[in-house]
Amino acid sequence: MNPLLANWTTAFEIAPFDAISDDDFAPGFETALAEAEAEIAAIANAPAPPTFANTIEALEASGKALDQVLSVFFTLAGADSNPKRLELQRKFSPKLAAHSSSIYGNKALFGRIKTLWDARDTLDITDEQQRVLMLTHRSFRRAGANLTGAQDIRMRAVMSRLADLGTEFTQNLLADEAGWYMELSETDLVGLPDFLVSAARSAGAEKGLKNPVITLSRSLITPFLQFSPRRDLREKAFTAWKARGANAGDTDNRPIAAEILALRHERATLLGYESFADFKLETEMAKTPGAVRKLLMDVWEPAKAQAGRDAEILTKVMHQDGINGDLEPWDWHYYAAKRRLAEHDFDEAALKPYLSLDQMIKAVFSCAHRLFGLEFTPLEIPLYHPDCRAWEVTRDGRHMAIFIGDYFARASKRSGAWCSAMRGQARFPRVQAPVVINVCNFAKGDPALLSYDDARTLFHEFGHALHQMLSNVTYESISGTSVARDFVELPSQLFEHWLEVPEVLREFAVHSETGAPMPSELLEKALSAANFDMGFQTVEYVASALVDLTFHEGAALADPMVLQSEILASLGMPPAITMRHATPHFAHVFSGDGYSSGYYSYMWSEVMDADAFASFVKASGPFDAARAAALEANILSTGGSRDAEELYLAFCGKLPGVEALLRGRGLSW
């Protein structure tokens, strides 16, 4: 029996990773895909008139074997790839696109759904079921279920090609990131803090090298740019970082991005929309490209002004070092760190020994316990990589979820950090608790020490995990993070605020060697410097969001790199700052449709998270029990069972403006 297709009898029905081999994926996929296709055919061709049970609930219950296979495969493909898995991903991608097209293009199936939708006011179903019916009908309509003839055929071809291109974009980026490293001699290590030297030695050892190396892992390259006094090496590292996906040859993502943009525009026009942005934003809280642009521009101008003032100061500091000329992108982190040390007497290297990974994991667990009563018990079970760790999540003795943490960078893992559910919460067709994974790319060390940004990432991704763990709906299609894209970042960004709570840092930010708590003076400096360099951070983010939005507002140009340059020039992009994600490595936007026209969503959610955390502070404080209960009842447990705006209003009573965000980032004056 293929272990991917078996009924898993492991503890908590976790995937039996120790019994699964790469050779199981292809036959398991083909068998599960055939089963899913047969299930869809049976629903579409059922002789009985359509009902919610025999159509909508039948769809909810279909494809479970395929979901089981793919949950394992895509977990491994993202976090622990190898040549075999990359090859399988390329083979599976067009078949999955064709399967999706066959579902949404099934006229008989859509006819049954439309019959129920047209009769929705007469159906005896719950509010949650009405929501699922609406979302199902909408997803079919937006996938082109109303298309016929040549348009229908073309839509299927477009979607298949987009799936291929997204996979190729991802794999090219992974290849560029895995293939580059910079060896350092002992003299190159001068000036680097101990934690970075240790991480670089670990990275070199992982590659079988005697010398320490800097890779394109953000947890290595960012501190290198902060601390290395060698301007030539900083330039070399930054140039490689910026060039990901833009190296001529087989891994060049620039023509792929151009084709993706053209196909997305064609997809939107086939469905009757003026642009892909109009199509994509229809289902989000923002609704229109104009609303998104207004938010971004309201933040852009004060952020650019602050960045300009900061650039002048950093340039003077650089000139004092005897380096004439202009401040360059590979200079900013280094001189910003020097400035922070001078102005705030705050050194990131002094902070890191107090931010060990193990202690920060304890901190997020403690906050989850105080807010929501969750408890975390370590599990010794087979997982997909030795670096992974697992915990059972309970509340009042009741099993709530399994949480898996995969925290360290490696060449087989794509960059960034993410949260995914190998199994989502549901009560139909059977009760199932979620299996949630947080994947990060922290530098390995003994012990592993985090930067403040790393610690914020840990809290951020755990906020997504809470959204999955505390979900309490009937249908998996609307559970957990299955919400509007510009709402999904609210729980994650909101949870970041608890890292800044002084009592949390006092308890858990202890020295990795001595166990001594962080000195109150250092704690105060860390908190006072939290908004340091926020002009830079905001500019690099908003520039990326505006490029993404503009790319999708009209017909695609043959060369998106030209349009990217034109957009940045029109914005007056500061020359010493680059986009956080330039087009060739903008995986959020080009690896799939998830954040296309939607990279703005982090900032849209930040407008709400600043307001939401303020509601805790205005009550009895960050751990106010009533506000925590309201957050769980109205946001974390509800998934997509209600409209996002309705959920936020139920939690906070009003929609916030951009002022709270600007105050929170220190950009209002």
C-beta of residue 272 within 8 angstroms of C-beta of residue 497: no
Count Cβ neighbours within 10 Å for each residue of 23-46 and write b for 16 or more, e otherwise.
Answer: ebbeebbebbbebbbebbeebbeb
DSSP H or E segment with residue 400: strand 398-408
| 76-88 confidence digits (pLDDT tens) | 999 999 999 999 9
pLDDT at 571 over 60: yes
- Global confidence as pTM: 0.93
What the chain holds in terms of domains, given with CATH numbers, is 11-146 (1.20.1050), 180-242 (no CATH), 254-346+534-599 (1.10.1370.10), 353-528+602-664 (1.10.1370.40)
- In the block, tokens 């479970």 appear at 64
* Cα 372 to Cα 365: distance, rounded to the nearest angstrom: 10
Count Cβ neighbours within 10 Å for each residue of 336-369 and write b for 16 or more, e otherwise.
Answer: bbbbbbeeeebbbbbbbbbbbbebbbebbbbbbe
SS3 of residue 390 by DSSP: strand
pLDDT at 660 over 90: no
* Cα 556 to Cα 657: distance, rounded to the nearest angstrom: 32
Closest CA to 389 of 370, 413, 407: 407
Q: What is the mean pLDDT of residues 452-477?
A: 97
Instruction: Please state, rounded to an integer, the average pLDDT across all residues of the chain.
Output: 96
Task: Name every residue whose Cβ is closer than 8 Å to that of residue 157 and which is 6 or more positions away in sequence.
Answer: none
Closest CA to 652 of 664, 660, 641, 640: 660
C-beta of residue 173 within 8 angstroms of C-beta of residue 245: yes
* Cα 279 to Cα 552: distance, rounded to the nearest angstrom: 10
SS3 of residue 517 by DSSP: strand
* Cα 459 to Cα 360: distance, rounded to the nearest angstrom: 8
pLDDT at 669 over 70: no
Structure tokens at 34: 């055939």
Q: Return the bridge partners of 423, or none.
A: 435
| 303-319 confidence digits (pLDDT tens) | 999 999 999 999 999 99
Instruction: Return the percent helix, strand and coil in the chain, to nearest 5.
Output: 60, 10, 30
Q: Which positions are annotated as active-site residues?
A: 461
| 330-358 confidence digits (pLDDT tens) | 999 999 999 999 988 888 889 999 999 99
Count Cβ neighbours within 10 Å for each residue of 448-469 and write b for 16 or more, e otherwise.
Answer: bbbbbebbbbbbbbbbbbbbbb
- In the block, tokens 């995914």 appear at 420
| 534-550 confidence digits (pLDDT tens) | 999 999 999 999 999 99
102 pLDDT band (50/70/90 cuts)?
Answer: very high
